[in-house]
A and B are shown apart, each in its own frame.
Chain A
Amino acid sequence: MWLSKYLAIAKINFKNEFTYFWDFLFDSVFIAIIIFIYSQLWAILFSTGHYSDISGYTLAMLVWYLVMTESIIDFISYVVDNIGDDIKQGNIANYLNKPYNYIIYIYTIHIVMGFVSLILTFLLGSIVAAVTVGGFSFNFLNIPFILITIFLAMSMNLLIMTFLGLFAFWMEDVSAVNFIYQKFVFIIGGTLIPLEFFPEWLAKISSFLPFSYLAYYPAKLFINFNLHQFLDVVAVQILWCIVFIFLILFIYKKAIKKVSINGG
Chain B
Amino acid sequence: MAVKDQFRLLWAYLGMSLKTLLEYRLNALLFIGSMIINDLAWMLFWLLFFTRFPNVNGWDFSYMIILYAVICFSYGLASGIFRNANKLQNIIANGTLDYFLPLPKNILYHLLIEKSSQYSLGDILFGLVLAVIFIPIYNFPLFLILSLLSATIIISFQIIIGSISFYIGNSRRLSASLNGGVMSLSSYPLSIYHGIARFIILFLIPAGFLAGVPVELLKSFNLTWFLLLTGFTIAILLIAIGVFYKGLKRYESGNQMYVRS
| Contact string against B for A residues 168-203, beta-carbon threshold 8 Å, 1 for contact and 0 otherwise | 000011001101100100110000110001110010
Q: Is B140 an interface residue (CB 8 A)?
A: no
Report B-chain residues with C-beta under 8 Å of the C-beta of A44: 56-57, 191-192, 194
Flag whether B11 is at the interface (Cβ < 8 A): no
Nearest A-chain residue to B205, judged by Cβ: A33
- For A22, A23, A176, A180, which residue has the most chain B Cβ atoms within 10 angstroms? A176
User: Would you call A40 and B192 a contact (CB within 8 A)?
Assistant: yes
Residues of B contacting A22 with CB < 8 Å?
Answer: 173-174
Q: Which residues of B contact A30 (CB under 8 A)?
A: 176-177, 180-181, 184
Determine the distance from Cα of A177 to Cα of B57 in the docked complex, in whole angstroms.
Answer: 36
A149 CA / B212 CA spacing, docked (Å): 39
Q: Nearest CB to that of A187 among chain B residues?
A: B45
Whether B44 sits at the interface, judged by CB under 8 Å, is yes
What 0/1 readout, one digit per residue, does chain B (23-38) give for beta carbons within 8 Å of chain A? 0101100110111011
> Is A247 part of the binding interface, using a Cβ–Cβ cutoff of 8 Å?
no
B185 neighbours in A (Cβ, 8 Å)? 33, 37
Query: Does the CB pair A172–B181 fall under 8 Å?
Result: no
Q: Confirm or deny: A76 has a beta carbon within 8 angstroms of a beta carbon on chain B.
A: no
A41 and B56 contacting across the interface, CB-CB below 8 Å: yes
A53 at the binding interface (Cβ < 8 Å): no
Q: Which residues of A contact B34 (CB under 8 A)?
A: 176-177, 179-180
B113 to chain A, nearest CB (A): 24
Given contacts A33-B185, A44-B191, A202-B48, contact A183 B38 (CB under 8 A): yes
Q: Which B residues are in CB contact (< 8 Å) with A34?
A: 184
Which residues of chain A are within 8 angstroms of B174 by Cβ–Cβ distance?
22, 26, 29
CB-based A-B contact count at 8 angstroms: 83
Cβ 8 A contact of B33, one of A37, A43, A176, A199:
A176
Given A40-B193, A197-B52, the answer on whether A183 and B181 have CB atoms closer than 8 Å is: no
Given A33-B181, A183-B41, A187-B44, decide whether A198 and B191 contact each other with a Cβ distance below 8 A: no
Tell me the minimal C-beta distance from B178 to chain A in angstroms: 8
- Given the known interface contacts A176-B30, A179-B34, A187-B41, the answer about A199 and B181 at a Cβ–Cβ threshold of 8 Å is no
A26 contact set on B, CB distance < 8 A: 173-174, 176-177
Residue from B26, B56, B172, B178 within 8 A of A45 (CB atoms):
B56
Report the minimal beta-carbon distance from B234 to chain A, rounded to whole angstroms.
Answer: 27
Whether a CB of chain A sits under 8 angstroms from the CB of B197 is: yes
B53 close to chain A: CB less than 8 A: yes
- Interface contact A27-B41, CB-CB below 8 Å: no
Min C-beta distance of A22 to chain B, whole Å? 8
Chain A contacts of B7 at CB under 8 A?
none
| B-chain residues with CB within 8 Å of residue A193 when the two chains form the complex | 45, 48-49
CA distance A138 to B193 in the complex (A): 29
**In the assembled complex, which residues on chain A have CB atoms less than 8 Å from the CB atom of B177?**
26-27, 29-30
| A164 CB to nearest chain B CB (Å) | 13
Q: Does B226 contact A (CB under 8 A)?
A: no
Contact B49 A23 (CB under 8 A): no
Distance A183 CA – B36 CA, assembled complex (angstroms): 12
B residues near A187, Cβ cutoff 8 Å:
41, 44-45, 48
Contact of A183 with B173 at beta-carbon distance under 8 Å, contacts A37-B184, A40-B193 already known: no
Is B38 in contact with A179, judged by CB distance below 8 angstroms?
Answer: yes
- Distance in angstroms between the alpha carbons of A254 and B57 in the assembled complex: 55
- What residues of chain A lie closer than 8 Å to B20, measured between beta carbons? none
A-contact 0/1 string along B58-82, CB 8 Å cutoff? 0000000000000000000000000
Kindly identify, within residues 124 to 170 of chain B, every residue whose CB is under 8 Å from any CB belonging to chain A.
Answer: none
* Given A186-B45, A197-B52, A173-B27 contact (CB < 8 Å): yes
Known: A44-B57, A179-B34. 5 other contacts (CB 8 A): A22-B174, A172-B26, A193-B45, A197-B48, A198-B52
10 contacts across the A-B interface (CB closer than 8 A): A26-B174, A29-B174, A34-B184, A37-B192, A43-B192, A176-B30, A177-B34, A187-B48, A193-B48, A199-B48
Residues of B with Cβ closer than 8 Å to A? 24, 26-27, 30-31, 33-35, 37-38, 41, 44-45, 48-49, 51-53, 56-57, 172-174, 176-178, 180-181, 184-185, 188-189, 191-194, 197
Q: Which residues of A contact B (CB under 8 A)?
A: 22-23, 26-27, 29-30, 33-34, 36-37, 40-41, 43-45, 172-173, 176-177, 179-180, 183, 186-187, 192-193, 197-199, 202
Question: What 5 A-B pairs are tightest by C-beta distance, nearest first?
Answer: A176-B34, A33-B181, A183-B41, A26-B173, A30-B177
